[in-house]
């Protein structure tokens, strides 16, 4: 295989995980997300090892995903087609079979949900946590929940009687507001998400102590940080018929992202996260293009994936104003291996 660096074609001896994806007609959103998932070593190794086969319940999509991961990591191809995976996933989500533009974040959530549903197992009774996963019953676990699932707790305080209740919520993708149209940092987005808010008017809560609807203060805390945390930067602002894309240049760190300020004291750990992949969106609401930046677990270098085109890039090029999805990990990735 050959990839480009500074306009030159260079041979690559170890091309595992450096395989382009054919565009099937406005499927750049799909290709960008798949490349990011293909760079998550623990997920890739799970599929390359064949462990997913024993866990399958009704998983045509998981099987197709496993074959695609194998082609991208073990094949001798410069470029492969994700057509089979798209076709199988399209049976559940028909919008992704159309040759129309789709949202990468929505596609990512559907893929994670579909893989979880295909691979989920029920925990033993003593390990049940009392909250639901992917809109399913409590106690379900899968490789997806093990890697990507986090938990928030919303402290809701009635402003009349000051009674506080906790509301847990599971997430796999954390959607962050963008507090500025000019420039801001990822920390600014996190502070905005986790700041205390007041619920009034139509957003009032029904206070069980007061017995009536009341204004309330609500504040989110991180009670479980996943091994791989995915941030969705809410660039698409839709209010009724008014729609626009926020072109804010958001500064995000490549390493040492500290989430402890947003974690509950009981769950606070000195855990730093490093960037491992980015989905970029170029253009506007009516037309655009998705690409991916991924850190390669073998070479430790950064690569740009633009459908079938793969380009080695310096780490200084990973920071762009087009970032839409950010993947961070709290554990260094090692090269995935395949069991014999």
CA distance 199 to 273: 32
Strands 309-313 and 257-258, by their bridges, are unpaired
CA distance 292 to 304: 6
Using alpha carbons, select from 232, 230, 334 the residue that is nearest to residue 275: 230
Q: Which of 192, 271, 289, 330 is an active site residue?
A: 289
CA distance 235 to 252: 15
CA distance 47 to 61: 12
Q: Which of 28, 110, 158, 276 is an active site residue?
A: 28
For tokens 């623990």, what's the residue? 42
**Under 8 Å between Cβ of 37 and 43:** yes
Using alpha carbons, select from 336, 224, 329 the residue that is nearest to residue 278: 329
Q: Which two tokens stand for residue 215?
A: 């204004």
CA distance 225 to 227: 7
How far is Cα of residue 108 from the mean position of the Cα atoms in its chain? 6
Helix (H) or strand (E) holding 8: strand 8-11
**Residue 28: active-site member:** yes
**Residue 232: active-site member:** no
Length of the chain counted residue by residue: 340
Query: What's the angle, vertex CA 209, arms to CA 203 and CA 210, rounded to 5?
Result: 65
Give the side-chain half-sphere CA count within 13 A for 128: 10
CA distance 234 to 195: 17
Kindly tell me the sign of the dihedral angle through the C-alpha atoms of 118, 123, 125, 128.
Answer: negative
What residues are labeled active site?
Answer: 28, 289
């Amino acid at each position: 295989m050959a990839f480009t660096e500074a306009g030159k074609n260079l041979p690559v001896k170890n091309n595992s995980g450096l395989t382009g994806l054919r565009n099937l007609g406005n499927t750049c959103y799909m290709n960008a997300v798949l490349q990011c998932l293909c760079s998550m070593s623990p997920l890739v190794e799970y599929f390359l090892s064949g462990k997913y086969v024993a866990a399958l319940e009704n998983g045509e999509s998981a099987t197709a995903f496993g074959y695609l991961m194998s082609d991208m990591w073990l094949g001798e191809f410069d470029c492969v087609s994700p057509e089979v995976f798209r076709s199988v996933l399209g049976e559940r989500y028909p919008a992704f079979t159309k040759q129309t533009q789709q949202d990468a974040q929505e596609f990512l959530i559907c893929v994670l949900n579909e893989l979880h549903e295909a691979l989920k197992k029920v925990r033993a009774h003593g390990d049940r946590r009392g909250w639901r996963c992917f809109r399913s019953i409590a106690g379900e676990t899968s490789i997806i929940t093990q890697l990507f699932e986090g938990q928030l707790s919303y402290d809701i305080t009635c402003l009349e009687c000051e009674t506080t209740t906790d509301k847990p919520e599971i997430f796999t993708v954390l959607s962050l507001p963008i507090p500025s149209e000019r420039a801001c940092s990822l920390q600014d987005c996190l502070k905005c998400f986790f700041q205390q808010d007041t619920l009034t008017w139509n957003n009032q809560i029904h206070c069980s102590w007061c017995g009536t609807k009341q204004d309330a203060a609500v504040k989110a805390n991180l009670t479980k940080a996943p091994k791989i945390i995915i941030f969705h930067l809410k660039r698409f602002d839709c209010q009724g018929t008014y729609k626009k894309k926020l072109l804010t240049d958001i500064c995000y760190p490549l390493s040492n992202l500290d989430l402890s300020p947003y974690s509950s004291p009981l769950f606070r750990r000195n855990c730093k996260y490093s960037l491992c992949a980015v989905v970029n969106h170029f253009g506007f609401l009516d037309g655009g293009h998705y690409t991916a930046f991924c850190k390669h677990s073998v070479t430790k270098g950064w690569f740009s994936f633009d459908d079938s085109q793969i380009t080695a890039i310096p780490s200084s090029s990973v920071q762009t104003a087009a970032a839409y999805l950010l993947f961070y990990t709290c554990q260094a990735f090692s090269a995935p291996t395949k069991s014999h």
